[in-house]
Structure 1
Amino acid sequence: METISGAVVIGAGVMGSALAQHIAEYGFPVWNAARRAAGELARELPAAITAVNIADISSLPDGTAVILAIPLSAVATIPPEVGAGRILIDVANYWPRLDSASEFATHPRDSSLGVATHFAHAHVAKTLNHLAFDALAFDARPPGSPDRRAQAVAADDQRVRSAVMDFVNTLGFDPVDAGPLKNGRLFAPGTTIFNGGWRDATSMRRVLERHLRNSAGTSRQSL
């Protein structure tokens, strides 16, 4: 079974930095990589997070997940082999101001499928994209808390999905199984889940199930 025992966050913007710090606070070894050299990046990082060059990610320990926290327009600048054999968690969203000139503009809600095409040898999952950087620490709760916020998780491989769901649970959120990676479009910007703010696991499952039923009905009508 796949397991996540550490994480390397690609991206040193507000979301990448917040994720790296949040994951480190839950006891995982954490690395941070960006377009800048590791030596320069290291001067900005807290002691619990280690700077690493993107080219050196492949040498990190087994079980280290790659977390993609960069604009979609920058995905093509990351060598595809970076995620080879690893779980790659895509937290990126399509934003017209940043990504309108990229290949993701054609099908913006299906951006994770484009990420999976680029990182063809990685095990791509979509989650944590419908959570603002400043809500990570604020909304995280222990398991079983009645007011715990949910995060949908989509991935084609059930073992990968389970591993990412365990990871999300450890980070303080209720994971909701959203099925295959294509269902990441159900919690992309502009959707009920993305725009609806805080949701618990029960209400999120209800929204996902409704959208999937509607999608199935539309597919049947088009046959």
Structure 2
Amino acid sequence: MRIGIVGVGHIGSSLARKYAAAGHEVRVANSKGADGVRAFADEVGAIAADARGAVEVADVIILSIPFPAISKLPPDLFDGVPERVPVIDTGNYYPGLRDPNIPEIDAGMTESVWVAQQIGRPVIKAFNNVLAETLADLGAPEGAPGRLAIAVAGDDAEAKRVAMGLVNVAGFDPVDAGSLEESWRQQPYTPVYCLDLDAATTRVKLAEAVKGEARPKIAHAQALMAQLDRDLTHDDLLALNRTLQGIEG
């Protein structure tokens, strides 16, 4: 499979590494053009490209960039990409923590619905409810006891099937989280957000999510991070997210 990855931060780089190692043809891009990703591409066995080069021949496209960068993508970036090619959005919106406010999302629009509107085509939401270190280091073979899960939401059954297959290749159990509109259930600080859950627990927690309850927790998360006053480890982030969900221990 030819996989185009736009954005090689913590999530995008881990996916590029995993898929290149699995034998896929991976093209990677960031905002600095092909030269800006060449060293990384050479390291992981991918092909360095600009954004157009990453998407134009892809069988599946992964957008792994901060939300403010979505609106800065070339408006015609996907014009030559066939409609059958899935676009997977891995991003999360962190107003007050990292991102400037986006009025539509602040007014209640589901995050990836906004992304789909910005790029002018449907997306699948995946890889956003696990921590970077979880994705990089805690994958396991299919069928392994306690294998962790990743939620996948979207409206196109075939595109969702492709995305769920990529989740499996990355070392995680894919869990169907419903439609793209329902992907608010896996947004930051919902009950499935970055807690290293297995598939059965993920299904339960997706169902338990209550719309509107997660957003106020962003400010609480910011306060807890400030109290720690250090670079946060994987264990720190897990503990913080458990605290925000009222989970003891």
**Contact 1:9 1:33 survives alignment (8 Å):** yes
2:31 & 2:162 partners in 1: Cα distance? 28
Q: Report Cα offsets for 1:37-96 as digits up to 9, x if no partner.
A: 2023213431511111112234314x2x11111110110111244344221111100112
Q: Pairwise CA RMSD of aligned residues?
A: 2.1
2:199 & 2:7 partners in 1: Cα distance? 28
Q: Report Cα offsets for 1:88-138 as digits up to 9, x if no partner.
A: 1111001123322334652577110000111223x4100110112222232
Are residue 114 (structure 1) and residue 111 (structure 2) matched? no
Select 2:51's aligned residue among 38, 51, 54.
54
**Contact 2:30 2:36 survives alignment (8 Å):** no
What's 2:206 paired with?
Answer: 208
- In structure 2, stretches of 5+ residues that fail to align are 212-249
How far did residue 10 of structure 1 move? 0.9
Change (3 A) 1:108 1:31: farther
Normalised to the residue count of structure 2, the TM-score between the two structures is 0.75
After TM superposition, the structure 1 = structure 2 runs for residues 66-215 of structure 1, keeping only pairs within 5 Å, are: 66-83=61-78, 84=81, 85=83, 86-96=85-95, 97-103=97-103, 105-107=105-107, 110-121=110-121, 123-195=122-194, 197-211=195-209
Change (3 A) 1:183 1:150: same
1:137 & 1:167 partners in 2: Cα distance? 14
- In structure 1, stretches of 5+ residues that fail to align are 216-223
Q: Quick one: which amino acid aligns to residue 200 of structure 1?
A: D
Are residue 19 (structure 1) and residue 19 (structure 2) matched? no
**Contact 2:154 2:178 survives alignment (8 Å):** yes
Normalised to the residue count of structure 1, the TM-score between the two structures is 0.83
**Contact 2:20 2:44 survives alignment (8 Å):** no
1:178 & 1:50 partners in 2: Cα distance? 32
**Contact 1:57 1:82 survives alignment (8 Å):** no
Change (3 A) 1:105 1:99: farther
1:60 & 1:103 partners in 2: Cα distance? 34
Between Structure 1 and Structure 2, the one with more helix by share is 1
